[in-house]
Amino acid sequence: MDIVVPIKQVPETSNVKMDPKTGTMIRDGVETVVNPLDLFAIETALRLKEAHGGTVTALSMGPKGAEKALREAIAMGCDGGVLVSDRAFAGSDSWATSYTLSQAIRQMGRFDLIVAGERATDGDTGQVGPGIAAWLDLPLATYVAAITRVDPDEGRLTVERLVEEGYQVLELPLPALLTVVKEIAAPRLPMLRGKKRAKAAEVPLYTAATMDLEPAFLGLKGSPTRVVKVATPKVTRGGTVVQAKDAEAVAGAVDRLLAFLDARDLLPHDGAPAGGAAAEQAGGRP
């Protein structure tokens, strides 16, 4: 089974710093990592390869530095990586990104399966995976929490999607595209041998010049959406904090909490969840 895993390089979220003046992220000196949610996709692909043979190729679109993310994927066990990078791709929204990546996947050649993370932790849209499926007209299963059956001969998968009502069980033919959630598998750590291989690996570079692309679909110019404003929301709510050191203080604190909830119409209504009729009459929040 030949598998493609699109990954993204993202800033490490634990130390994201915002410029208070411009409201934009300070990228200088910020550590980058493979999008943590993509690690579940890489792990899923590696396990399928181990069970059924084939190859796993990571693919990333981004600045030249995104090569580091691809080498990390190779260190985990991917057979190779492809970097899609060009100034012409800068400013791509999820529409243009999914177009460019789908053209790269076409160029990479035959594959059986694409496994992607559910979303990236920076852009947080979750739109590129389904977008690639649309471009390539591939059967799609998102939020996959388990692959319960693989029939490589017939080219069929049975998967379970984590949805609001439980797990939706789907059967789909290959080639297909899956986006996976954390529950599917715990990612492995890179091994020394993998790290050595990653160092030596050749990572092919795809650019606008080497790809078959519609110029009007690329980068900021090819993106239907525009960011018109960025604001930093206030982090603290300036809430009340009360101390509850002993039994008496606990009772007092809970008193105040109940009064606070009551003032916001958040106490349980008899037999009905909060936000029932009373909340609706209030006409919603500003």
State which of positions 244-263 bind another protein (CB under 8 A). Answer: 244-245, 247, 249-251, 253-254, 256-258, 260-261
Selected from 42, 162, 178, 213, the binder of another protein by CB under 8 A is 162
Which among 45-53, 65-73, 105-113, 129-137 is the span making contact with another protein, rule CB under 8 A?
129-137
Selected from 47, 91, 107, 135, the binder of another protein by CB under 8 A is 135
How far is Cα 59 from Cα 203, in angstroms, rounded to an integer? 10
Helix-helix angle 36-52:67-76, to 10 degrees? 40
SS3 80: strand
CB of 249 to another protein, least distance (A): 7
28 touches another protein (CB under 8 A) = no
CB of 199 to another protein, least distance (A): 29
92 touches another protein (CB under 8 A) = no
CB of 43 to another protein, least distance (A): 13
Q: Which two tokens stand for residue 92?
A: 């791509």
200 touches another protein (CB under 8 A) = no
Q: Which two tokens stand for residue 10?
A: 């993202």
Measured from the CB atom, the residue of 9 and 98 that comes closer to another protein is 98
Measured from the CB atom, the residue of 182 and 197 that comes closer to another protein is 182
Instruction: Give the total of residues touching another protein (CB under 8 A).
Output: 102
Neighbour-count burial for 163-197, b at 16+ CB within 10 Å, e otherwise: eeeebeebebebbbbbbbbeebbebeebeeebeeb
**H helices of 21-80, where?**
36-52, 67-76
166 touches another protein (CB under 8 A) = yes
Contacts (Cβ under 8 Å, ≥6 apart) of 281: none
Where in 93-122 is the site for another protein (CB under 8 A)? Answer: 93-95, 98-99, 121-122
**Phi/psi at 36 (nearest 5 deg)?**
-55, -30
